[in-house]
Amino acid sequence: MLVRTALTSACCALVLAGVAGCQGDDVQPQGAQVKGSGGAASGGPSEAVAAVRKAADVTTGAKSSRTRTTMTMQSDNRVVKLTGQGMFDYVRHIGSLTVDAPKDSGIAGPLQEILTPEALYMKNGSPGIPKDKWVRLAIDGLADGNLVSGGGTDPGTSFEILRGVNDDVVLVGTEKLGPDTVRHYKGTLDIRKAHDLTAPEVRGPLAAALKTFEGAPIPFDAYLDEAGRLRKVEESFVFVMGPDEAKSAPTTKVLSAAELYDFGVVVDVKPPEAKDLYVPPAPPAAPPGTPAKRG
């Protein structure tokens, strides 16, 4: 119940509650207009695969960055868009994110988050939870490994997952991202491959995501700068809702995007202390003589 309350605060319970399976989607993220040449430019597919996969190490070498996130969820005729901003330390594997929810979401104020490979900490004073307390969600308890649970993808995970690119990656061309020129790549990701190629200390989110995404190719668009650092990534997911994966089961489409900038920024973030965590009250003890429930 606590987990569902926290996820509802991030407008993500519709995505995760009762997820039975998911699959890749053929809906493509929309990037800026291509100004350069097409996929045949600057080498073949193997060079494109190598460039995107290498971006994980190059971006980690930048040590830290600020991030802007956007998450768009579509289910039936309803579209929910969440935006966020924050910073992340790629050496200590910790960051913070402030997520703004739509005005009609019923959420009072922005959602504060602290992200680590082991846990997602969330705070916004949800009903029944003190405003000054954090809710801790274990990453291995989230069906998606926090790829979408918090309303914005962990920027560290967003480029670690690129280690799992498939051989279908192509260079679309060069584009402008603000004042900078970036190379736009498009292809699909394999969560199992990304998990196996990621360092053990940051593998937790991908290990959890395997419960939902293994075997499902995930479409992505990645934008790399001249140094090979990831500047923007968009990933597309489809969640199948319900007790089975029947074709009639409702689906939710999620497009998650993260933009990285201001590399090398000082990140003064640490996990909440135990005294700052919300501890749900224990259920009342059963009166003496009450028969124990069976089954």
Provide the CB-side half-sphere exposure for 151 (13 A, CA): 32
pLDDT tens by residue, the chain, 295 residues: 233 333 333 444 433 333 334 444 443 333 333 333 333 334 455 899 999 999 999 999 999 999 999 988 887 778 888 899 999 999 999 999 999 877 766 666 788 999 998 889 999 766 778 888 999 988 888 877 777 777 777 777 878 889 999 999 999 999 999 999 999 999 999 988 988 888 887 788 888 777 777 677 899 999 999 999 999 999 988 776 555 555 555 677 889 999 999 999 999 999 999 999 998 877 776 666 666 655 5
Task: Tell me the helix, strand and coil percentages in the chain, rounded to 5.
Answer: 25, 35, 45
Which pLDDT score is estimated for 207?
82
C-alpha 144/C-alpha 17 separation (Å) is 11
Identity at 180, one-letter amino acid code: D
What b/e readout covers 232-245, taking b as 16+ CB neighbours within 10 angstroms? bbbbbbbbbbeeee
Whether 60 and 276 have beta carbons less than 8 Å apart is answered as no
Residue 157 β-bridge partners: none
Side chain identity at 261, as an amino acid letter?
Y
Distance from C-alpha of 41 to C-alpha of 39, rounded to nearest angstrom:
5
Q: Which of 82, 60, 52 minimizes the C-alpha distance to 70?
A: 82
CATH code assigned to 2-266: 2.50.20.20
Q: How many CB atoms lie within 10 A of CB 294?
A: 4
Nearest to 151 by CA among 200, 195, 113: 113
Dihedral sign for Cα 132, 87, 221, 219, please. Answer: negative
Burial class (CB in 10 A: 0-12, 13-18, 19+), 113: buried
pLDDT value of residue 58 = 95
CB 133, CB 278: distance < 8 Å: yes
Nearest to 45 by CA among 154, 141, 167: 167
Strand-pairing partners, residue 176, are: 181
What single-letter DSSP state applies at residue 32? P
For the chain, the domains span: 2-266
pTM of the model: 0.78
